[in-house]
Amino acid sequence: MDKVNVLIIEDTPAESNRLIKVLEANNYNVVAVATTFKDGLNFFYNQLIDIIIIDIFLNGNADGISFAETISLNPNGSKPFVFLTSSTDRKIFERAKLTQPFSYLMKPFNELEILYALEMALEKFYEQPDTFLGDQENTVVSKDYLFIKKGKSLKKVQLSQIIFIEVEEKYCNIITEKEKFVILISLTKILKLLDQSVFSRTHRNYIVNTAKIVEIVPADNLIVLSGNHKALLSDTYKSILKTIPTLK
């Protein structure tokens, strides 16, 4: 599991330092702190960023909103973001609200409020509400990552590193090359959110990353995966053989 990469756009060092302190204490990775709109864009396009904290007012202008507007222009390239503001001025909020999805954090804030705001921003951005906050689930699925709530903090796992997923009632065992852990998510939801061309269901309880398949042994109903992991293949899902021609 990796740390979540955060970009901070904030022109007041005292504020950004406080943010860095809180975030790092909660296992977030602060990639950079930008103090201007331009810097912010630079970092955003050149670094791997998972989430951005944007101060609405940069040097007295509402550049923070402009930044959000700019990155939202390309929906595929956009990332979740949280506005940071010290005023509840309605006009500013009305404008900020237009950059959907809209999450904000009011100054002064405490640790819990920051973490809550980040989680909300992720949920809203990936349109999977009530994931981190409810009792039932703890994982948000994006195009490339699983964002998993661990304690007060968030972690992420790259989807391409997952070898297979073993489902156990409400839990899913995620097996990557390096580690093995349990997440809370329903099978139907994860199946819906994962890329069907990469992940295939092979059994009532197994979802396999087809890129990691080493060998399929139909006789034993077995799929051998990289790292010598084995997954089951049931008759119902044998059609998978046709869709993976390269591994005959």
Partner 1 sequence: MKFHKKSFYKIKLCIVVIFFCNQLIAQKQEKLDAFSIAIKEKLDLNKSSSFFYKAGMFFLNKEWDSVLVYTARHRNLDKNQNKLKDYNHYLRGYSFKQKLLLKEAKKEYKTISSNFKFSNLVTFRLAQVALEENKFEVAISYLNSIINLPDSQYIYLNKGDVLQNLGVCYLHLKAFDKAEPYLLDFMHYQEKAKDTLGIIAAYGNLANFYYEQYKDNLAIPYFEKAYLLSKSTNDFKKRNNASLNMAVVEENRKDFKKALQYRKEYEKWHDSLNDQNKIYEVAKLEKLFAVKQKQKEVSLLKIENKAKIIERNGLLYSALTLLILLGVTFYFYNEKIKSNKIIMAQKEGLDELNATKDKLFSIISHDLRSSVNALKSSNTKLLDNLEEKNLEALDGLLQNNSAIVNSAYSLLDNLLHWALLQTKQSYFEIEALRLFFIVEQMAYNYKPLMLDKSIDFNNKVLKKDIVLVDQESLKIILRNLLDNAIKFSKPNGKIKIYTTYTTDNFCDLVIEDSGLGMSKNTQNSLLENTIIVSKKENKDIIGTGLGLQLCKSLIQKNNGKLAIESELGKGTKMIVSLPKTTLNG
Binding positions for partner 1, rule: CB under 8 A: 88-90, 92-94, 106, 110-113, 116, 133-135
Q: Compare residues 129 and 227 and give the one whose CB is closer to partner 1.
A: 129
Measured distance CA(95)–CA(160) in Å, rounded: 38
Closest approach of Cβ 168 to partner 1, in Å?
A: 23
Closest approach of Cβ 135 to partner 1, in Å?
A: 5
Q: Compare residues 115 and 174 and give the one whose CB is closer to partner 1.
A: 115
Q: Is residue 84 within 8 Å of 55, Cβ to Cβ?
A: yes
Closest approach of Cβ 29 to partner 1, in Å?
A: 23
Q: Which two tokens stand for residue 215?
A: 């060998």
Q: Compare residues 96 and 207 and give the one whose CB is closer to partner 1.
A: 96
Closest approach of Cβ 156 to partner 1, in Å?
A: 21
CA atoms within 13 A on the CB side of 146: 29
Sign of the dihedral defined by the CA atoms of residues 19, 76, 65, 37, in that order? positive
DSSP tag of 125: H
Measured distance CA(2)–CA(4) in Å, rounded: 6
Q: Compare residues 21 and 143 and give the one whose CB is closer to partner 1.
A: 21
